[in-house]
């Protein structure tokens, strides 16, 4: 769906109903909206400029409860990969709903979906389904520990692998030092440090877990240096360390065969979730044959993990992504968008740094070292109906059009002008 508004129409929205709903929410829900979709973790600065609750969504857009329309570059933080309410995926889900969903024995759809995953993901010999990304990272760690009978896990600094206690940090609320006692940390792209860490913990390391590139928050995103992953792969193989790729965020946006395939190596275990079924709730851990027995031995399941609707949606989603060759489309659209945004910034005297992969671009205004200017610009964008964030990578979806990109760049120009006017001291 192309943008319909002209520049003239891009005005500051009001969020009266959103705020009324939020007042009701805080009475009955801890912090009103918890987690990454809420104002605190979502860094709505200031919160009055942001929509708290959505009413409906279509393609690249959502409408909030006040009727404000947003061109959405967060894509529900990833799940919207084909466009909200994609007709093909929804039709498959609805058709499955009329047959069976949550049943005492699983639907054969699970087998079909597993076969499709194994055929699609280059490193996969098997597929294990759950609901959220965290379910798969947790499964991967348990599988690696069970297979190796070792305790320690290597993480890359700036990581995010979910919400289980082992994925959190010692200073997080509710986490004990014992929960993270076996966590080791190394910087991304730092092979000498990784070699040293492995040598210092020889024979104790179960797994190395990392995202395919460093797409952590608050920082310019960092892609792997030439040969990085191949050296990691070699080290892990030599030392009997299970190599886990957390592809929950980037999975299927870089390469339908997996982001490990994109960067030219093979993971032992690879975790998928966000782009798997266009918003229908399913996640998947894929693995190598030598880990299949360990995975079979885990006591690990969930009430809704074998529901058939998301399997049907996932099959339809993957087939459509293949048909559209979405990774190439995302790279093209992401490159056009970020090139346009950089130009709009430059025209107004801003240094907009774009990092990461174009399909999941990360933005930062570098005129100051504090992000105040950047947060002001993000607020101006959101106030004009372009939903972006100041701390997190963004997402391209397949329904985004070149008109949408053109419109985004026009609004960005307006937003840069507004920030420049408000901060003459910075120029």
Q: Are 287 and 270 in contact (CB under 8 A)?
A: yes
Q: Give, as ranges, the residues between 137 and 176 that touch other proteins (CB under 8 A).
A: 169-173
| Residue 38 binds other proteins, judged by CB under 8 A | yes
**Of 45-53, 59-67, 69-77, 295-303, which part binds other proteins (CB under 8 A)?**
45-53
| Residue 238 binds other proteins, judged by CB under 8 A | no
Phi, psi of 11 (to 5 degrees): -120, 170
The tokens of 186 are what?
A: 């190394």
- State how far the Cα of 426 lies from the Cα of 414, in Å rounded to an integer: 17
The tokens of 373 are what?
A: 């200017």
| Residue 383 binds other proteins, judged by CB under 8 A | no
| Residue 424 binds other proteins, judged by CB under 8 A | no
Binding-residue total with other proteins (CB under 8 A) = 32
| Residue 218 binds other proteins, judged by CB under 8 A | yes
Cα distances from 83 to residues 334, 365, 370, in angstroms, run 15, 28, 34
Among 13, 15, 18, 45, binds other proteins (CB under 8 A): 45
Q: Are 33 and 22 in contact (CB under 8 A)?
A: yes
| Residue 47 binds other proteins, judged by CB under 8 A | yes
Q: Are 81 and 252 in contact (CB under 8 A)?
A: yes
Beta strands in 13-104 (DSSP E): 54-58, 61-64, 69-72
| Residue 106 binds other proteins, judged by CB under 8 A | no
| Residue 22 binds other proteins, judged by CB under 8 A | yes
Pick the closer one to other proteins by CB: 15 or 253: 15
**Of 16-24, 79-87, 91-99, 238-246, which part binds other proteins (CB under 8 A)?**
16-24
| Residue 370 binds other proteins, judged by CB under 8 A | yes
In the numeric block, the tokens 């030219």 are attached to 264
CB of residue 211 to other proteins, shortest distance in Å: 18
CB of residue 22 to other proteins, shortest distance in Å: 7
Among 28, 30, 98, 421, binds other proteins (CB under 8 A): 30
Among 17, 20, 36, 39, binds other proteins (CB under 8 A): 39
User: Is residue 157 helix, strand or coil?
Assistant: coil
Pick the closer one to other proteins by CB: 64 or 255: 64
**Of 104-112, 275-283, 371-379, 404-412, which part binds other proteins (CB under 8 A)?**
371-379
| Burial zone of 51 (CB within 10 Å; 0-12 exposed, 13-18 middle, 19+ buried) | buried
Beta strands 242-246 and 269-272, pairing class: parallel
| Residue 427 binds other proteins, judged by CB under 8 A | no
Torsion of CA 112, 117, 119, 121, to 10 degrees: 180
Question: Minimal CA–CA distance to 221: which of 199, 197, 254?
Answer: 254
Q: Which residues bind other proteins (CB under 8 A)?
A: 19, 22-23, 26, 30-34, 38-40, 43, 45-48, 169-173, 177, 217-218, 369-372, 375, 390-391
């Amino acid at each position: 769906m192309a943008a319909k508004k002209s520049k003239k129409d891009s005005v500051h929205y009001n969020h009266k109903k959103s705020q009324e709903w939020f007042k009701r929410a805080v009475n009955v829900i801890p912090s009103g909206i918890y987690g990454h979709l809420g104002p605190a973790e979502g860094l709505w600065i200031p919160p009055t400029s942001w929509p708290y609750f959505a009413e409906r969504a279509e393609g690249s857009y959502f409408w909030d409860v006040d009727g404000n329309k947003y061109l959405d570059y967060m894509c529900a933080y990833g799940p919207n990969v084909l466009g909200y309410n994609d007709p093909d995926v929804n039709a498959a889900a609805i058709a499955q709903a009329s047959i069976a969903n949550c049943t005492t024995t699983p639907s054969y759809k699970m087998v079909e979906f597993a076969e499709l995953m194994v055929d699609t993901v280059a490193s996969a010999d098997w597929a294990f389904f759950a609901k959220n990304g965290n379910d798969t990272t947790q499964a991967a760690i348990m599988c690696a520990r069970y297979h190796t009978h070792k305790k320690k896990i290597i993480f890359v600094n700036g990581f995010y692998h979910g919400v289980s206690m082992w994925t959190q940090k010692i200073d997080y609320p509710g986490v004990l030092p014992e929960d993270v006692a076996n966590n080791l940390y190394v910087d991304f792209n730092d092979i000498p440090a990784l070699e040293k860490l492995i040598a210092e913990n020889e024979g104790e390391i179960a797994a190395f877990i990392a995202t395919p590139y460093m797409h952590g928050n608050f920082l310019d995103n960092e892609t792997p240096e030439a040969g990085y992953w191949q050296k990691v792969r070699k080290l892990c193989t030599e030392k009997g360390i299970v190599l886990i790729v957390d592809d929950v965020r980037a999975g299927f946006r870089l390469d339908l065969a997996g982001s490990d395939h994109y960067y030219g190596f093979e993971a032992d275990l690879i975790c998928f979730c966000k782009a798997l079924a266009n918003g229908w709730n399913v996640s998947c851990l894929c693995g190598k044959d030598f880990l299949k027995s360990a995975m079979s031995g885990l006591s690990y399941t969930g009430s809704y993990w074998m529901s058939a609707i998301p399997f049907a949606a996932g099959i339809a989603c993957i087939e459509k992504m293949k048909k559209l060759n979405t990774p190439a489309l995302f790279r093209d659209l992401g490159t056009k968008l970020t090139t346009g945004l950089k130009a709009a910034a430059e025209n107004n005297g801003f240094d907009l740094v774009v990092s990461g992969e174009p399909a999941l671009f990360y933005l930062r205004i570098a005129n100051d070292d504090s992000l105040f200017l950047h947060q002001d610009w993000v607020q101006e964008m959101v106030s004009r109906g372009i939903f972006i964030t100041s701390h997190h990578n963004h997402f391209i979806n397949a329904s985004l059009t070149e008109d949408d990109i053109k419109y985004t760049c026009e609004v960005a120009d307006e937003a840069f002008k507004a920030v420049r006017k408000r901060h003459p001291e910075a120029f």
